[in-house]
Amino acid sequence: VLALNGKITQVGEKILASNGKEVDFASALKSCEEAGGTIATPTNEEENKAILSIVKQYNRYAYLGIKEGETSGQFKSINGTPLNYTKWHRYEPNGKGKEKCVEMYTDGSWNDRKCNLYRLTVCEF
């Protein structure tokens, strides 16, 4: 369960929180769901900045709630909705079906990445 020791940010209707743990995508998703939320998915610049503030606090890349769909190179939010907002790093996404998860860099830009790497858990509620 998420121990929320001061790492909570509110943005719009969302509350963002991190437990400071670095785990693979499936484990991050599971811990967010067990706490009653899901992995943080920015839908606008304001939310991206709020997630970035947590990423910067820990100085760790974080998984976002975005995965590659059936079509190579086409990413969707994990609830299946299309992305109306993206902040890909230059030349990303470039994994072409091999990198199905998305991480946020410490500058707020996104990169497609394999799902088995250990990244910071950031949840939204």
Q: CA dist 29 to 17, 40, 92, Å?
A: 13, 9, 23
pLDDT for res 5: 54
pLDDT digits (tens, 9 = 90+) for 73-117: 899 999 999 999 999 999 999 998 899 999 999 999 999 999 999
- Alpha carbon 77 to its chain's center: 10
User: What's this model's pTM, rounded to 2 decimal places?
Assistant: 0.92
Break the chain into its structural domains and give their ranges. 9-124
Q: How do strand 62-68 and strand 38-39 relate by DSSP bridges?
A: unpaired
Residue 2 has pLDDT above 80, yes or no: no
Give, in words, the CATH class of 9-124.
alpha beta
Tell me what the mean pLDDT of segment 46-58 comes to.
Answer: 96
